[in-house]
Amino acid sequence: MSLNLVGLTAYVEQNASDLIKEAVLRGRTVDLVTVQGGIKSAQTINRISTSLTGQAGACGWNAAGTTTLDQRTITVCDVKINEAICLNDLEAYYTQVAMNPGSYNTAIPFEQIFAENKRDQIMAMIEDLIWRGNTATGSGNLALCDGFVKLFDAGVTASSGRYITYSTSALAGTGSGGAYNAATSNIVELIDELARLVNTNVIDTPDLHVFLSYADYRTYAKILRDTNYFAYTGAENQGQEFSQMHPGTNIRVIAVRGLNTANRILLAEASNLYIGTDLLSDAEDFKVWYSQDFDEVRFLAKFKLGVQVAFIENVVWARGF
């Protein structure tokens, strides 16, 4: 005598563990750069620059030198996110055990983790838009706004003297051992070249950063470690993950999510990069509510976003090929 279980489906416990939020690499750029708020559509960055003309000391008055007032404009895009959830759909699955008794369901049973995941995804989306947004060629969410890549691709060209190209396949190589060469130099030499090209007027500023992708950062850290292992003091000793000072300089190398897949590297003062918005907290102050009219839970997030640079002559831009 034995059991016949052919007609049964193997049991899988679905109620034993909590709902787990997916891991999202959030942005960090907003915490580094200058944020200009109160922008509904467009707003200017008001600049002042001065040239001095010295003269030999003598009686009389001979006016010389100029003070220039000019502007650069931040234009923001208007973004919204709408989602609707029919709670009745949850009743047919394991989620039913977390729902309140009765047929009048008015709240998501996993509302806190739902909200946390939305917050992380919105922050990641904003980071991607800050860097790779392009209303002309972007796809999906990246078509909503223009970011730094589009700005610097257009504004920092070969004729500027602050623009270089590099081979993406050579970044992890041994390097040429001499002057920078786009075909052979590794990423450490590439950053040395960026430092060489920076405007001498800002070379001693305390917030010079090299912004690059996480993949390029890991390549950079590995080369530093492998070539100078015993003296290497990387991010683990400098208080910030995926960030460290470039040896022999005042430049901090930092990985940002927004440059992932972009094949771009930027050297700039962080304070020279501007992010425009209406209210910085808008993206995190999203709304989740139950709509009686539609018998569903609705999610709404709205924010405005734009980028600009105050002094484009102070940045160095590298493009991979």
Cα–Cα separations (whole angstroms), residue 238 to 165, 174, 180, 197, 219: 30, 26, 28, 26, 18
Q: Please state which CATH class domain 29-49+67-320 belongs to.
A: alpha beta
Task: Over range 215-238, report the average pLDDT.
Answer: 78
Q: Per-residue pLDDT for 236 more than 80?
A: no
pLDDT in tens, 246-303: 988 999 999 999 999 999 999 999 999 999 999 878 777 889 999 999 999 999 999 9
Concatenate the DSSP letters of all residues of 123-164 into one string: HHHHHHHHHH--TTT--GGGGSS--HHHHHHHHS-GGGTSEE
Q: What is the pLDDT of residue 14?
A: 59
Q: What is the pLDDT of residue 91?
A: 77
Most confident of 27-36, 57-66, 100-109, 262-271: 262-271
Rounded distance between C-alpha atoms, residue 118 and residue 21, angstroms:
10
Per the CB < 8 A criterion, the answer to whether 130 and 305 are in contact is: yes
Q: What is the pLDDT of residue 303?
A: 93
Task: Over range 106-132, report the average pLDDT.
Answer: 90
Which of 134 and 9 is assigned the larger pLDDT?
A: 134
Q: What is the pLDDT of residue 238?
A: 62
Lowest average pLDDT, out of 41-55, 163-177, 284-298, goes to 163-177
Instruction: Please state, rounded to an integer, the average pLDDT across all residues of the chain.
Output: 87
40: left (phi over 0), alpha (psi -120 to 50) or beta: alpha
Rounded distance between C-alpha atoms, residue 195 and residue 102, angstroms:
66
Per the CB < 8 A criterion, the answer to whether 208 and 267 are in contact is: yes
* Whole-number percent of the chain with pLDDT over 90: 56
Which of 135 and 13 is assigned the larger pLDDT?
A: 135
pLDDT in tens, 174-209: 666 667 888 888 999 999 999 999 999 999 999 999
Most confident of 18-27, 63-72, 103-112: 63-72
Per the CB < 8 A criterion, the answer to whether 166 and 185 are in contact is: yes
Task: Over range 206-234, report the average pLDDT.
Answer: 86
Task: Over range 15-20, report the average pLDDT.
Answer: 58
The backbone torsions φ and ψ at residue 218, rounded to the nearest 5 degrees and listed phi first, read: -65, -40
Q: What is the pLDDT of residue 175?
A: 66
pTM: 0.87
